[in-house]
């Protein structure tokens, strides 16, 4: 009898290993597909993520067993989130690696679980006061313009995350990333938004466009600030940046618009978690600010 049980346990172990192996292959496929979609070579991705070229090759072929930390570094470098890694293309085996309990549910049941989590999260956030406001969204949406107008009218302290990170690090953003990579930048970012929150009763915070890609930091923001997504179309984003006199987005990347579209599409589900959304498309600064105040004070 014991031999039969041992045999069954061995079979179960083999199946579990095969399931995990399948998940690793799928994650490698996702990394490789997104890397190709971005037009990034394996060497560039290795440099950006701080992972060796050899290990990245093993991962993309399904032969590596990556830690969450490694996957986070890769996802940031690809402008993805960890959620994308696990849920893209209905990747059920990768979902199982993330939380095996979800594998017991059907696809429809998993959607209900995620929907319930979102609803509970939304209810909790609706109870927050509006003394501490955080503006999220891509560059060129109008965060700085709206934030400065609100600061001027109501005399509310205004903080820009990028400036605060530079003060904390004693160097500019490029130097922070060159010195400590994305890891240092993300640590500074989290420290800044938590410190500002704890030390001020009223404030408005302008965040970087990629803050939504860092799960821990973004969750802190959603749970402790009244978040507002300032949005516009990709073309509007690009035109506003160019009007500001910054031609770098187009000059250094002929596929800048395509990349911007992809980034925005990938982050829509994350930006949509904000408490309210302000669409500044085709609106003047004054019109956008008026809409901002109406929605802020009526919600």
Rounded to an integer, the average pLDDT of 158-186 is: 89
The pLDDT of residue 265 is above 60: yes
Across all residues in the chain, what is the average pLDDT?
77
d(CA 228, CA 209): 12
Q: In this structure, what token pair is assigned to residue 200?
A: 């001020």
pLDDT score, position 9: 47
**Residue 257, C-beta contacts closer than 8 angstroms, at least 6 positions apart:** 234, 235, 238
93 and 122 both lie in a single domain:
no
Instruction: Give the percent of the chain with pLDDT over 90.
Output: 24
Q: Provide the domain count of the chain.
A: 2
The Cα angle at residue 166 between residues 193 and 72, in degrees rounded to 5? 60
In this prediction, residue 39 has a pLDDT band, given cuts at 50, 70 and 90, of: confident
Q: Same domain, yes or no, for 155 and 74?
A: no
In the sheet that holds 226-231, the strands lie side by side as 158-160, 203-206, 132-136, 226-231, 276-279
Instruction: Check pLDDT > 60 for residue 28.
Output: yes
- The CATH number covering residue 44 comes to 1.10.260.40
Same domain as 207, residue 129:
yes
Same domain, yes or no: 92 and 135: no
User: Residue 43: CB partners within 8 Å, gap ≥ 6?
Assistant: 53
Q: Is residue 49 part of a domain?
A: yes
| 69 plus 217 within the same structural domain | no
Residues 49 and 154 grouped into a single domain: no
- Residues whose CB falls within 8 Å of the CB of residue 193, separated by 6 or more in sequence, listed in order: 134, 161, 205, 207, 217, 220, 221, 225
Q: Is residue 256 part of a domain?
A: yes
- Both 15 and 91 in a single domain? yes
Regarding pTM above 0.75, the answer is: no
Average pLDDT over residues 128-142: 87
pLDDT at 289: 94
- Domain limits for position 263: 118-298
The helix (H) or strand (E) run that includes residue 273 is none
- Specify if 109 maps to a domain: no
- Helix pair 42-49, 68-77: axis angle to 10 deg: 120
Alpha carbons within 13 angstroms on the beta-carbon side of residue 192 total: 24
Q: Indicate whether 134 and 99 sit together in one domain.
A: no
Secondary structure class of 206 (helix, strand, coil): strand
**Beta bridge pairs of residue 133:** 204, 226
Q: Please indicate, yes or no, if residue 112 is contained in any of the structural domains.
A: no
Answer yes or no: is pLDDT of 8 > 50. Answer: no
Terminal C-alpha separation, the chain: 66
- Pair 70, 51: CB distance under 8 Å: yes
Q: Is 253 found in the same domain as 135? A: yes
């Amino acid at each position: 009898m014991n031999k039969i049980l041992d045999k069954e346990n061995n079979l179960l172990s083999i199946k579990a290993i095969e399931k995990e192996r399948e998940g690793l292959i799928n994650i490698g496929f996702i990394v490789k597909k997104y890397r190709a979609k971005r037009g990034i070579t394996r060497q560039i991705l290795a440099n950006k993520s701080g992972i060796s070229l050899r290990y990245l090759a093993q991962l993309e072929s399904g032969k590596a067993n990556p830690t969450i930390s490694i996957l986070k570094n890769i996802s940031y470098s690809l402008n993805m989130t960890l959620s994308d890694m696990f849920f893209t293309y209905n990747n059920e085996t990768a979902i199982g690696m993330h939380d095996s309990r979800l594998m017991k549910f059907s696809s429809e049941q998993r959607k209900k679980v995620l929907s319930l989590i979102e609803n509970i999260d939304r209810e909790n956030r609706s109870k927050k006061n509006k003394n501490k406001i955080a503006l999220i969204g891509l560059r060129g949406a109008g965060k700085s313009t709206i934030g400065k107008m609100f600061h001027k009218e109501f005399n509310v302290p205004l903080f820009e995350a990028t400036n605060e990170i530079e003060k904390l690090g004693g160097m500019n953003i490029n130097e922070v990333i060159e010195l400590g990579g994305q890891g240092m930048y993300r640590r500074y970012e989290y420290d800044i938004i938590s410190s500002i929150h704890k030390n001020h009763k009223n404030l408005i915070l302008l965040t970087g466009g990629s803050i939504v890609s860092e799960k821990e930091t973004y969750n802190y923001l959603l749970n402790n600030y009244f978040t507002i997504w300032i949005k516009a179309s990709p073309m509007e984003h690009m035109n506003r940046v160019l009007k500001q006199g910054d031609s770098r987005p187009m000059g250094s990347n002929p596929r800048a618009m395509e990349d911007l579209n992809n980034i925005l599409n990938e982050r829509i589900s994350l930006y949509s978690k904000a408490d309210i959304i302000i669409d500044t498309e085709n609106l003047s600064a004054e019109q956008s600010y008026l809409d901002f105040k109406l929605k802020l004070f009526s919600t």
